[in-house]
Amino acid sequence: MTVKAYGAHAGDKPLESIDIIRRPVGAHDIQIDIAFCGICHSDLHQVRGEWAGTQFPCVPGHEIVGRVVAVGAHVTEHRAGDLVGVGCIVDSCKHCGDCDDGLENYCDGMIGTYNFPTPDAPGWTMGGYSQQIVVHERYVLRVRHPEDQLAAVAPLLCAGITTYSPLRHWQAGPGKKVGIVGIGGLGHMGVKLAHAMGAHVVAFTTSESKRADAKALGADEVVVSRNAEEMEEHASSFDLIINTVAAPHNLDAYLALLKRDGALTLVGAPATPHPSPEVFSLIFKRRTLAGSMIGGISETQEMLDFCAEHGIVADIELIRADEINASYERMLEGDVKYRFVIDNATLAS
């Protein structure tokens, strides 16, 4: 089946309307009419070839929500008409220890929603900037939010789970002091989620203009990270800091804010490395520098249900498909509060 999509033919070319092919619905497949798709900074990194290995044409998008239109003969969990989501994962080996543990995100055979190898034409996966997608049932999530919130649910499928998973793993909750660095798509979700989990939340931003906003998102305190004195006030006090920044920067400034056994977890994935941190920043106070990648399928469902229960959605700006290129430029300037979401109905025109 041929569907309309938006993608790029090369890293230095803008995205444009293209036609792509979706596979026939297999016995375990679910065919989804995509209503909305969020724009993640990872889309920009990959469609511009900033990380190695982008295949062109590239159709990004891994914050997908929509409605089931058809299911294969062996599908039991979903039926036509259901509201569903698809995040960053559309396949994995299904039998390794990671898959058995529900951590498909760490399976060596994980297949990302776009730019990963697949037997389907043209040989690599094509993402959610498209009218429809066909996905194995294991990787399709149930959406329990009211339908009028659907566009604002889309960013939960990547920005939500990527911050939820490390918050849970490092046990954010009452009595814990948690920092979120970079108040963009991921960061604003991190603040909302850490607040809902009951942690004391401190937002770190480079943008003075986000100081008041971050409090409204749920931060107890806001630090403008360019201000050394404000940073110093929080020395050796954090249990956990999640860093979402998409550009290389000095990590020692954040390691110094961790108390004994605290962890700085990197989720931001800049195209070039951070300067190496001082070993002394780690050995004093037995601090940990860690990383975390999205989350498994069962944890993504848990996160969606947690958000539905607590009334949590992303703060979004809804755009047309022909505004995608302009929105990339605005994202680079930090000019989005806090996630662009594409109205996929506009792909048709």
The residues binding Zn ion (CB under 5 A) are 40, 42, 158
> Which listed option, ligand NAP, Zn ion, none, makes contact with residue 263 (CB within 5 to 8 Å by class)?
none
206 binds, among ligand NAP, Zn ion, none (CB under 5 to 8 A by kind): ligand NAP
The least distance separating ligand NAP from the CB of residue 38, rounded to whole angstroms, comes to: 9
207 interface partner picked from Zn ion, ligand NAP, none, CB below 5 to 8 A per type: ligand NAP
Q: Decide whether 7 or 38 has the Cβ nearer to ligand NAP.
A: 38
The smaller minimum CB distance to Zn ion, of residues 242 and 256, is found at 242
Distance CA 109, CA 122 (A): 19
Pair 341, 319: CB distance under 8 Å: yes
Binding site for ligand NAP (CB under 6 A): 40-42, 45, 158-159, 162, 182-187, 205-207, 210, 244-247, 249, 267-270, 293-294, 331, 334
The binder of 67, among Zn ion, ligand NAP, none, by C-beta within 5 to 8 A per type, is: none
Given the complex with ligand NAP, which of 246 and 307 has the nearer CB atom? 246
How far apart CA 302 and CA 314 sit, in angstroms, is 17
Q: How far is the CB of 282 from Zn ion (least distance, A)?
A: 28
Return the half-sphere exposure (C-beta side, CA atoms, 13 A cut-off) of residue 17: 13
Task: Pick between residue 184 and residue 262 the one whose CB is nearest to ligand NAP.
Answer: 184
Cα dihedral 66, 126, 157, 298 sign: positive
Which residue in 116, 55, 69, 104 sits closest to 301, CA to CA?
104
Minimal distance in Å, beta carbon 33 to ligand NAP? 25
Report d(CA 183, CA 221) in Å as an integer. Answer: 13
Name the residue nearer to ligand NAP (CB basis): 131 or 162.
162
Shortest spacing between CB 39 and Zn ion, in angstroms:
9
Give me the least distance between CB of 42 and ligand NAP, in Å please. Answer: 4
Bridge-based pairing of strands 83-86 and 64-71 is antiparallel
Q: Closest Cα partner for 236 from 212, 260, 220?
A: 260
Distances (CA, A) of 323 to 5, 20, 123: 14, 20, 28
H runs (alpha helix) in 74-210: 97-100, 150-153, 159-169, 185-196
Nearest approach, Cβ of residue 269 and ligand NAP (Å) = 4
